[in-house]
Structures are given as C-alpha cells and as structure tokens.
Amino acid sequence: MGEETRLRYRFLDLRRPEMAEKLRLRSRMTTSIRRFLDENGFLDVETPILTRATPEGARDYLVPSRTHAGSFFALPQSPQLFKQLLMVAGFDRYYQIAKCFRDEDLRADRQPEFTQIDIETSFLDEKEIMGLTEQMIRNLFKEVLDLEFGEFPHMTFEEAMRRYGSDKPDLRNPLELVDVADQLKDVDFKVFSGPANDPKCRIAALRVPGGASMPRKQIDDYTKFVGIYGAKGLAYIKVNERANGVDGLQSPIVKNIPEANLNTILDRVGAVDGDIVFFGADKAKIVSEALGALRIKLGHDLNLLTCEWAPMWVVDFPMFEENDDGSFSALHHPFTAPKCSPQELEANPAGALSRAYDMVLNGTELGGGSIRIHRKEMQQAVFRLLGINEAEQEEKFGFLLDALKYGAPPHGGLAFGLDRLVMLMTGAQSIREVIAFPKTQSAADVMTQAPGVVDAKALRELHIRLRETPKAE
C-alpha cells in the first residue's frame, strides 16, 4: 500500500500494532526525559507560538494579524530568544518539549512542524551542559531500550571534516578520508596539480578494503553519485599486486603520477592487495561533501559497519561560514558565543571558533547547542559581522539587547530533535513513521486536505487580497 493512502486513512493505519508500538515508545521516551529533567531541578515553561520573525536560517511560517493590519506573526523555528530571556529573568534551569515550525524547501525527511526537546541553563559551562545532557540520553537508552552506552568520545569540527568529510560522522563506519595533496603538487595532470596548489581546495583519498573486485559499472554508479554533490569525477586506483610496482596497479591515472609519490600515497592510506582507492580533487567543501557521502554509501552497500550504535560529540565549530560574496553567515545561529573577545572576533572572523557542540548518533545530529552570548557588546559585534546594522538590530532585537544591558548570567543550552531521536530508537525508516499525523514531502496533510482555500470574507478581515493567477490562453 502506498504511503499517501496510508496518510489519507491515518486513523486506520495507526491501528496496526507496529505503528501503535512506535507511538507508545515515543510516549515512554518523553516520560523518561521529563522525569530526568524534573529530578535535576529543571522547570517546564511554555513559550509563545505567535511571535515575530528572527533570522534562524530557514523561512518562517507567517500568520497575518487581523487586529494589526498589514502585520504578521511568525511561528517559532525554536524558542531560542525566549529561553535566553528566561535565564535573564532568573529561571536558571528551563526545559520544554516544544513544537517548532520551518517553511523549508521540500526534502525527503523533513517536516514543516517538528518537536524539540529544548533545554537552557545558567552558570554551567560547555563541559557541564554536555555532561548533563549526555547523562540524560544514556539514561533514556537504558530505560527504554535497556542499552548501556559508555562515555561519548569528543571530536573537533576540523578533525571530523578532515577524517570523515562530515560534521556529523557515523563512527560505525571504519572508512576514512586521507589528505594527499602534498604528493600531487608537481604532477603533469592539471586535475590534480591545480587543486593541490590552491589553498581553498583539497585532494583526499578513500581506501575501500577488498574493493578491487568492484565492476566498472559499480564505479560508474559511484561516479554519478558523487556528481550530486558537485564532484566532476571520481578517480580511482585498483591495487591488484603492490609488489609489481605500477604494473600491479589498475587505473587510468597512474601514468600521470611518479612511482615514488604513488607509493607514498598508497602507504599513507594503508592500501594492500585487493583494495581500491578513490580520489576527490576540487574545492575543499565539494571534496568533503562528495567523499563524505560516498563513504556513508560504501559503508552501507558493502556492509562495513562495525557496531550498532556510535554516539559522539562534535565541538570547536567555526563561528561563521563565508559566503561566495565574502559576507558571513552564522554556522549555528547569531546568539552563539565565540571563544574570543569582541575585538579578536572582528579582527579575524573567518578564524574564530564558537562555544558550540553537537551530539551525533550513527551519523545523525541528535541535538545541537552552545554557550550563548550574555554581553551586549559581544552580541552587537556578531550582528555587525553578519551585516545587521544598528537600526536593524534595534528593530529586530531591541528587546534582547535591552535584556543583556540589564545583566544576563552566563548561560547555554541544547535542543534535541525528538522525532529524529524516536526514529533512530525505533529503527523506523522515516520520521513520518513516528509522528501520529505527519505531513507529506510537499508539506500537505492529505487526510484533512490542509492547507486549504479560505473564503473572501476571512481574507478581507485579515486585510489580504490574493493575486489572480493569469488564465492560460
């Protein structure tokens, strides 16, 4: 039966024991989380659903105001600013299982409304917040699935991107990316020598044990796959018999690389007879994304995963990412504190690290958080670097800057995606399987036929006039 039919008759679909069991497990999970946070002195506080638009990365869902003509509320993408204001108000341990809304472009496994386990606390540093929330997740897995995790390993953003091509690496997968640009700077092969001599580029190798038996069609399929991420091709070397030197290697590229450099590369990646080594050479972002995605695909296709669960923390994220036009965007959000002073931040924004941290499980980001900015001058410095001038700061964030002026305690927090967490813990293939009444991939509800048309009277009361669509000739 097709998913759309199941969603249209969801009230019948939920009668199936496997569907009912997922919702029961979801309920047990939220009960466990609430109990843990209550026992640790956290206060459950509800924050507004009708609020105002703030720049958090995605598009807001807008709600027209009948009583304020021409003005709109926004549905919250997260309770971010309200929970920070609760810290200013003196509630030093807050939590909420909150509904959040994002009007994102269509993606396979995103919902326009989703549920977040939202946590904020004052006077704790990164280490303490990570320790507390890790304890909560370990307690949850023990209570609900009877699984015991050890301490979660920590890895910097830089190391995660270098070794795994992702800021949410799946550590069940043993494959790693290895940088080899230093061996290809002087080769007579522009595909390699160009990126090898460009500081904004990267050349990485990915060794696949036993992959030399891979047929050409499979290699072609993987080449098409990395093309999705912007890669222009996928070079490879099949290692048939290393003892025979270049003659023991099978690849169209070996003739362009001196034998000494080839041997250094193969030694560095740990290649032995029967392996295949894939190469990516391009802008650093493209290589990391393409080979990082290929690593995940190979891990699943070739059954390389070494364990069932691999939780971890990723730390030391950059404060900003640079856009093509040289401007900056916040990597997390504009309220994340940097690891430096306002003066150092403005002197070198591209090199600044943030006090942010993400919890990752099996290659999925479970939750992300940070220590927040609690001083007005630092918040204004970040706004300036993001191109938000003083007038716009006052118009959009005057209430926050006022609150910081009156004295805010050092504070930080973290938010977990509940739907994704339930999906992982139930083994479901999609988050739609663990939400009672989800939307389709096109953000519609086929059961209630939402969104729907509104009559002219209701639109007039909201001071809205619809444009007429031109009639087809």
Query: CB-based burial of residue 189 (10 Å sphere; 0-12 exposed, 13-18 middle, 19+ buried)?
Result: middle
**Which residues, listed in sequence order, are joined to residue 121 by a DSSP beta bridge?**
93, 412
Asked whether residue 379 is marked as a ligand-binding residue, the answer is no
Residue 56 marked as a ligand binder: yes
Residue 401 near residue 379 (C-beta atoms within 8 A): yes
Give me the sheet containing 249-250, strands edge to edge: 177-179, 201-208, 276-283, 235-239, 249-250
468 labelled binding-site residue: no
Q: Check whether 467 is labelled as a binding-site residue.
A: no
* 332 is annotated as contributing to ligand binding: yes
463 belongs to an annotated ligand binding site: no
Q: Are 221 and 271 in contact (CB under 8 A)?
A: no
Would you put residue 210 in left (φ > 0), alpha (ψ -120 to 50) or beta?
A: left
Instruction: Tell me: is residue 291 an annotated ligand-binding position.
Output: no
104 labeled part of a ligand binding site = yes
Half-sphere CA count of 235, side-chain side, radius 13 A: 18
- Residue 418 assigned ligand-binding role: yes
Nearest-CA neighbor of 177 among 195, 165, 192, 159? 165
Query: Does 417 show up as a binding residue in the annotation?
Result: yes
120 is in an annotated binding site: no
308 is in an annotated binding site: no
Sheet holding 364-371, edge to edge: 43-44, 93-101, 113-122, 411-417, 364-371, 356-361, 311-315, 154-156
The residues, any chain, with a CB within 8 Å of residue 322's CB and separated by 6 or more, are 328, 350
Binding residues: 56, 102-104, 111, 332, 365, 372, 417-420
Binding residues for ATP: 102-104, 111, 365, 417-420
Binding residues for L-aspartate: 56, 102, 332, 372
